[in-house]
Structure 1
Amino acid sequence: MLKLIKDLRINEKGAAAAEYALILAIIGSAIAASALIFGNSIASVLTRAAARMAAVTF
Protein backbone atom coordinates (compact mmCIF):
# COMPACT_ATOMS: atom_id res chain seq x y z
CA MET A 1 0.00 0.00 0.00
CA LEU A 2 2.83 2.37 0.88
CA LYS A 3 4.49 1.69 -2.48
CA LEU A 4 1.24 2.54 -4.27
CA ILE A 5 1.02 5.90 -2.48
CA LYS A 6 4.63 6.70 -3.35
CA ASP A 7 4.03 5.76 -6.99
CA LEU A 8 0.96 7.98 -7.16
CA ARG A 9 2.90 10.89 -5.68
CA ILE A 10 5.70 10.49 -8.19
CA ASN A 11 3.47 9.82 -11.21
CA GLU A 12 2.48 13.20 -12.66
CA LYS A 13 0.79 11.98 -15.86
CA GLY A 14 -2.65 12.62 -14.39
CA ALA A 15 -1.68 16.14 -13.35
CA ALA A 16 -0.38 16.92 -16.83
CA ALA A 17 -3.60 15.62 -18.40
CA ALA A 18 -5.64 17.78 -16.04
CA GLU A 19 -3.57 20.83 -16.94
CA TYR A 20 -4.08 20.20 -20.64
CA ALA A 21 -7.81 19.79 -20.07
CA LEU A 22 -7.90 23.09 -18.18
CA ILE A 23 -6.00 24.86 -20.98
CA LEU A 24 -8.40 23.44 -23.58
CA ALA A 25 -11.38 24.55 -21.51
CA ILE A 26 -10.01 28.10 -21.26
CA ILE A 27 -9.29 28.25 -25.00
CA GLY A 28 -12.72 26.85 -25.80
CA SER A 29 -14.37 29.41 -23.55
CA ALA A 30 -12.44 32.22 -25.23
CA ILE A 31 -13.48 31.01 -28.68
CA ALA A 32 -17.13 30.77 -27.61
CA ALA A 33 -17.06 34.23 -26.02
CA SER A 34 -15.48 35.80 -29.08
CA ALA A 35 -18.03 34.11 -31.33
CA LEU A 36 -20.82 35.59 -29.23
CA ILE A 37 -19.25 39.04 -29.15
CA PHE A 38 -18.13 39.30 -32.77
CA GLY A 39 -20.65 36.96 -34.41
CA ASN A 40 -22.94 39.63 -35.81
CA SER A 41 -20.06 41.78 -37.04
CA ILE A 42 -18.42 38.89 -38.85
CA ALA A 43 -21.73 37.82 -40.40
CA SER A 44 -22.31 41.38 -41.62
CA VAL A 45 -18.86 41.60 -43.21
CA LEU A 46 -19.27 38.24 -44.92
CA THR A 47 -22.72 39.18 -46.22
CA ARG A 48 -21.39 42.41 -47.72
CA ALA A 49 -18.45 40.59 -49.27
CA ALA A 50 -20.75 37.97 -50.79
CA ALA A 51 -23.02 40.67 -52.22
CA ARG A 52 -20.07 42.45 -53.81
CA MET A 53 -18.73 39.23 -55.27
CA ALA A 54 -22.16 38.39 -56.67
CA ALA A 55 -22.33 41.80 -58.33
CA VAL A 56 -19.11 41.20 -60.28
CA THR A 57 -19.63 40.24 -63.90
CA PHE A 58 -17.07 38.52 -66.06
Structure 2
Amino acid sequence: MTGALIDFIVEESGQGLVEYAFILMLVALAVVTGLTFLGNSVQNAYQEAADSF
Protein backbone atom coordinates (compact mmCIF):
# COMPACT_ATOMS: atom_id res chain seq x y z
CA MET A 1 0.00 0.00 0.00
CA THR A 2 2.73 2.46 0.91
CA GLY A 3 4.66 1.39 -2.17
CA ALA A 4 1.76 2.40 -4.39
CA LEU A 5 1.52 5.74 -2.59
CA ILE A 6 5.24 6.39 -3.02
CA ASP A 7 5.03 5.43 -6.71
CA PHE A 8 2.13 7.86 -7.14
CA ILE A 9 4.05 10.71 -5.49
CA VAL A 10 7.32 10.02 -7.33
CA GLU A 11 5.62 9.54 -10.72
CA GLU A 12 6.42 12.17 -13.34
CA SER A 13 2.81 12.88 -14.36
CA GLY A 14 2.16 15.78 -12.02
CA GLN A 15 0.03 17.44 -14.66
CA GLY A 16 -2.85 15.07 -13.93
CA LEU A 17 -2.67 15.85 -10.24
CA VAL A 18 -2.81 19.58 -10.94
CA GLU A 19 -5.81 19.07 -13.23
CA TYR A 20 -7.62 17.10 -10.52
CA ALA A 21 -6.85 19.88 -8.03
CA PHE A 22 -8.36 22.48 -10.37
CA ILE A 23 -11.46 20.35 -10.90
CA LEU A 24 -11.83 19.89 -7.15
CA MET A 25 -11.43 23.64 -6.63
CA LEU A 26 -14.12 24.40 -9.23
CA VAL A 27 -16.52 21.87 -7.71
CA ALA A 28 -15.96 23.29 -4.23
CA LEU A 29 -16.52 26.82 -5.51
CA ALA A 30 -19.75 25.75 -7.24
CA VAL A 31 -21.00 24.03 -4.07
CA VAL A 32 -20.25 27.04 -1.87
CA THR A 33 -21.87 29.43 -4.36
CA GLY A 34 -24.91 27.20 -4.78
CA LEU A 35 -25.38 26.76 -1.05
CA THR A 36 -25.08 30.50 -0.53
CA PHE A 37 -27.90 31.24 -2.96
CA LEU A 38 -29.98 28.22 -1.95
CA GLY A 39 -29.43 28.96 1.74
CA ASN A 40 -31.04 32.38 1.42
CA SER A 41 -34.06 30.91 -0.40
CA VAL A 42 -34.53 28.22 2.22
CA GLN A 43 -34.17 30.73 5.04
CA ASN A 44 -36.80 32.97 3.44
CA ALA A 45 -39.19 30.04 2.98
CA TYR A 46 -38.85 29.05 6.64
CA GLN A 47 -39.31 32.65 7.73
CA GLU A 48 -42.50 33.00 5.66
CA ALA A 49 -43.84 29.76 7.13
CA ALA A 50 -43.04 30.92 10.66
CA ASP A 51 -44.62 34.33 10.03
CA SER A 52 -47.85 32.69 8.90
CA PHE A 53 -48.37 31.33 12.41
Q: TM-score, normalised by structure 1?
A: 0.51
Match status 1:27 vs 2:48: no
**Residue in 2 aligned with 1:5?**
11
The one-letter code of the counterpart of 1:19 is M
Q: Distance in 2 between matches of 1:36 and 1:13?
A: 34
Which sections of structure 1, spanning at least 5 residues, go unmatched? 41-58
Aligned length, in residue pairs: 37
Out of 38, 47, 57, which is 2:44 matched to?
A: 38
Q: Distance in 2 between matches of 1:5 and 1:26?
A: 32
Q: Percent identity?
A: 5
Please give the secondary structure, in 1, of the residue aligned with 2:11. Answer: helix
CA deviation map 1:8-55 (0-9, x unaligned): xx2111110110000000011111101012344xxxxxxxxxxxxxxx
Runs of 4+ off more than 3 Å: none
Q: TM-score, normalised by structure 2?
A: 0.55
* RMSD after superposition: 2.2
